[in-house]
Structure 1
Amino acid sequence: MRKSVLFSTAALFASAAIAQQSVIDDAFTTRAGALKAAGLENAESPENKAIVESATSNYEILRENLGDSFGGFWVEYDENGNAYQVLAATTPVTVAKGYSENNRLEVVSVKYSFSELIKIRQQIQSSYEEQYRNGKSDFELISLYEGIKSNVVVVKALPEYKEAILLWLQKNAIPLDAVDFQEQDGQSTLMATIYGGQAIYSAASGIASTAIRCTSGFNVTIDTVITGAVTAGHCETVYPDVARNKAYLNVSPTPGSSTVGGGYIGDFLANQFGNGIDAVLYGNWGNVHTMLPKLKTSVNTYGSVKPVIPVDYSRIGQSVCHYGNATNWRCGTLSAVNSTEYFNGRPFNVARATFCGGQGDSGGPVVHGVSRNAMGIYMGVTVAGATNTCGASLGGSASKESIFQPLKPYLDIYTNVKIMTE
């Protein structure tokens, strides 16, 4: 049975009234506070930064040296918040004593190499997508990615599909000990609610009832002369029957829970949502707004944007943060850098992180937790129909995992679009 995608923005209509007062702890009004709340306050210590930077710079070297034995490489934090590196291998390896001590390296033995996990994931993905396109699938996958830390390919779906999926995997000669089936109660919910982190809303021209709240991601230049910004593609296309083709400022004092119409910013363009990339631009009409290479660092202050880095340049386990108008700053760690999420059978290649989010956060900036380099734009939470996963006072849930769209695939398509940086 085919299920429709449930976007949590469905009930978010424009209104000058405050629908509800969001209760946000002061700890989350700054990125530093969010890091502390996530238990990552030591992430920016010189010692931890050195270990994370070493992991980034040595990843390809270790992968090349170990060859087919390479099982993965990531960053962990011990009970005292001190970072250390973990190298997984399928055969015994010897690492230079100096490197091991300086980087607090731990070597673990695993059954499957990283390349084997990639092949298994690709086999599952190609077989599933082919049968789905042909209308022959009796189940739906929600997510699919390499679980590097657990040395498996993670397959997520509704619990009632478990038996059918495991049987299908066996028929396709997929080793079941290389797969971790995890229950998820529905497709990830894409959250929709001039600086990066600006409160905005999208609407059809002149139709206030069509408005949905979002957060602006990063300011951009187009052909070096036109300015605009990038946000989540589903902020425009969440309701395909109504073309929400215009972006406006949301000047509500509580933009995470209500919409108050502000000035018109510009039209949406270059939306790749239909092609599996949840990103869109909106223009700065007539360049009437001043758009700077900055993003919110707290509720009323701003900091510089640092250059974009590919999400796969980062290591699993390292800190990452996002800013949204519903939940302010939230931080966690990368849990997957190449997760395939399915929405009505359409695959999106996204990243996963252990931070929460809420309605109105969609499209907001996602940055490296330590360096603040631009990485992606926030999409939503991995809980079907959720309105907020950041705590009981906000209708929270046990799940603290979210997905975000890496910037690089989108920017690779539109080479004349550049993120404003300092």
Structure 2
Amino acid sequence: MRTSPIFSALGATALTLGLIASPAAASAEASTDSPDTAPRGGDTQSEALMNDLGLSSLAEAQKLMADEAEARDLEDTVREKAGDAFGGAVFDQDSGKLTVSVTDASAAKGLEALGVETRVVAHGEDALDEVVEELNDAESAASDAVTGWYADLQDDSVVITVLPGETKSAHELIAAADVDADTVRVEESDERPETYANIVGGVAYHFGGRCSVGHAAVDSQGRPGFTTAGHCGRVGTNITLGNGRGVVANSIFPNRDMAFVRATSNLTPTPLVSRYQAGGTVRVTGHREANIGASICRSGSTTGWRCGTIQAKNQTVRYSQGAVHGMTRTNACAEPGDSGGSWVSGDQAQGMTSGGSGNCRTGGVVFYQPLNPTLSQFNLRLFTG
């Protein structure tokens, strides 16, 4: 049984440190970072990025994180400057630069002075998102062979994923949604997405099964708790975390995959996320959304601390329990029990694990529910430090 450096004193295997089960138990572990001494995300993720992204040195990993932080700020500037011509932005890990798509060539000239690469595209982010929404509206017409769809800003197209030999099913959905077939690309894959809850013992937090804590937050009345995946429990579900207790106060699944567990006893919020086998914690300082192409790391109670790259946003995923919309697509791995766990980029909270395909031995695709829509939907405030 894997144990978190922070929760081991309680005998729990929670991997994300959105909440500490009790102040006394947390301080009983000598190797645990306290809220006052825990390093920030930018100081602690370098080794994990080296391992999972194949970087050659700590300096290279640290430069990547610095470039990504600059790109997050820069996207806001170029989005405003490009106006209606803005077609999306993608971060390039090799060059450390942001590539901005525009739908009007005249808009590119003013953006290049800001230090970004530009390219002119036929469709752009807004048009692709409209196609995704039209496919969402026609979801009932999709066969079981269609596993999802998403806007691919790098290719300026919407990708529909289907099981091998089922391209016809994608074209049937395109016809039912009445979208422009020229904007759509079909990909075959034998990987079928699944949610990552697991009905086993030795859990991160109990709800009748096992999931992982997401990010500490407080509700509109100032009551503490944590975000997690909606498929981990319906409203009213009781959970245990070490010697702490909570109840699912808000939950949406399917359509979205978000929930808020309100603490009822012996749970104190912290701004920390466990790095598990990598050691230590990340201190979350905000929730600025990372760019497509940026590196990202996740924490979960089965596979611990894993990193990868953001591949796409606004993904529709078709699970057996129903479709979920607005997911972010990554190539970081996860396995059953990791559901609900936190995602961070640098020191910025990003979301909670939803599901995916594959595993941490062979790789795969993993989706997370973005945090910002969750905070807005449930009127929550992220607990930061």
State the TM-score, normalizing by the size of structure 1: 0.69
**What's the offset of the Cα at 1:160?**
4.3
Q: Secondary structure at the match of 1:94?
A: helix
Partner of 1:356: 333
Task: Give the 4+ runs in structure 1 shifted more than 6 A.
Answer: none
Q: Which amino acid aligns with 1:200?
A: A
**What's the offset of the Cα at 1:152?**
0.8
Match among 237, 243, 246 for residue 263 of structure 1? 243
Q: Counterparts of 1:43 and 1:375 in 2: how far apart (Å)?
A: 22
Partner of 2:197: 192
Confirm or deny: 8 A CA contact 1:199 1:325 kept in the other structure. yes
Q: Secondary structure at the match of 2:92?
A: strand
**What's the offset of the Cα at 1:113?**
3.0
Q: Counterparts of 1:277 and 1:171 in 2: how far apart (Å)?
A: 23
Partner of 1:180: 185
**What's the offset of the Cα at 1:271?**
1.5
Q: Secondary structure at the match of 1:118?
A: helix
Q: Secondary structure at the match of 2:155?
A: coil
1:373 to 2:348 alignment: yes
**What's the offset of the Cα at 1:163?**
1.1
CA distances 1:29-49 after superposition (whole Å, capped 9, x unpaired): x73322112135556535x45
Match among 253, 257, 261 for residue 278 of structure 1? 257
Which one is further off, 91-100 or 354-363?
91-100
Give the gaps of 5 or more residues in structure 2.
1-10, 12-43
**What's the offset of the Cα at 1:307?**
2.0
Change (3 A) 1:328 1:98: same
Q: Secondary structure at the match of 1:270?
A: strand
Confirm or deny: 8 A CA contact 2:112 2:118 kept in the other structure. no
Q: Counterparts of 2:111 and 2:173 in 1: how far apart (Å)?
A: 44
Change (3 A) 1:334 1:110: same
Change (3 A) 1:315 1:224: same
Q: Secondary structure at the match of 2:373?
A: helix
Give the gaps of 5 or more residues in structure 1.
1-15, 17-29, 204-210, 238-242, 250-261
Confirm or deny: 8 A CA contact 2:204 2:213 kept in the other structure. yes
CA distances 1:124-157 after superposition (whole Å, capped 9, x unpaired): 332x13xx1xxx5555632221101111101112
Partner of 2:78: 62
Q: Counterparts of 2:166 and 2:120 in 1: how far apart (Å)?
A: 32
Change (3 A) 1:216 1:170: closer
Alignment of 1:327-366 (within 5 A): 327-343=303-319, 344-366=321-343
**What's the offset of the Cα at 1:215?**
1.3
Partner of 2:127: 116
Change (3 A) 1:411 1:226: same
CA distances 1:43-93 after superposition (whole Å, capped 9, x unpaired): 6535x4554344333334434544565443211122xxx412223345543
CA distances 1:348-395 after superposition (whole Å, capped 9, x unpaired): 321112201112211111111x2x2111111122x2xx5xx111xxxx
Q: Counterparts of 1:161 and 1:74 in 2: how far apart (Å)?
A: 30
**What's the offset of the Cα at 1:402?**
0.7
Q: Counterparts of 2:114 and 2:93 in 1: how far apart (Å)?
A: 18
Confirm or deny: 8 A CA contact 1:31 1:330 kept in the other structure. no
Q: Secondary structure at the match of 1:121?
A: helix
Confirm or deny: 8 A CA contact 1:202 1:245 kept in the other structure. no
Q: Counterparts of 1:413 and 1:296 in 2: how far apart (Å)?
A: 26
CA distances 1:94-125 after superposition (whole Å, capped 9, x unpaired): 3566533xxxx433343333333233333333
Partner of 2:5: none
Change (3 A) 1:114 1:419: closer
Change (3 A) 1:316 1:106: same
1:296 to 2:274 alignment: yes
Q: Counterparts of 1:355 and 1:330 in 2: how far apart (Å)?
A: 6
1:402 to 2:353 alignment: no
**What's the offset of the Cα at 1:420?**
1.6
Alignment of 1:57-206 (within 5 A): 57-66=73-82, 69-78=85-94, 82-90=95-103, 92=105, 93-95=108-110, 99-100=114-115, 105-126=116-137, 128-129=138-139, 132=140, 138=143, 141-169=146-174, 174-185=179-190, 187-192=192-197, 200-203=204-207
Q: Counterparts of 1:247 and 1:139 in 2: how far apart (Å)?
A: 33
1:217 to 2:217 alignment: no
Confirm or deny: 8 A CA contact 2:78 2:111 kept in the other structure. no
Q: How many residues align?
A: 334
Confirm or deny: 8 A CA contact 1:334 1:352 kept in the other structure. yes
State the TM-score, normalizing by the size of structure 2: 0.75
**What's the offset of the Cα at 1:234?**
1.5
1:35 to 2:40 alignment: no
**What's the offset of the Cα at 1:161?**
3.3
Q: Counterparts of 2:136 and 2:122 in 1: how far apart (Å)?
A: 21
Confirm or deny: 8 A CA contact 2:339 2:354 kept in the other structure. yes
Change (3 A) 1:306 1:120: same
Q: Counterparts of 2:301 and 2:177 in 1: how far apart (Å)?
A: 45
Q: Counterparts of 2:274 and 2:88 in 1: how far apart (Å)?
A: 34
Partner of 1:5: none
Confirm or deny: 8 A CA contact 2:351 2:370 kept in the other structure. yes
Q: Counterparts of 2:237 and 2:173 in 1: how far apart (Å)?
A: 42
Q: Which amino acid aligns with 1:291?
A: P
Confirm or deny: 8 A CA contact 1:219 1:419 kept in the other structure. yes
Change (3 A) 1:94 1:138: same
CA RMSD of aligned residues (A): 3.2
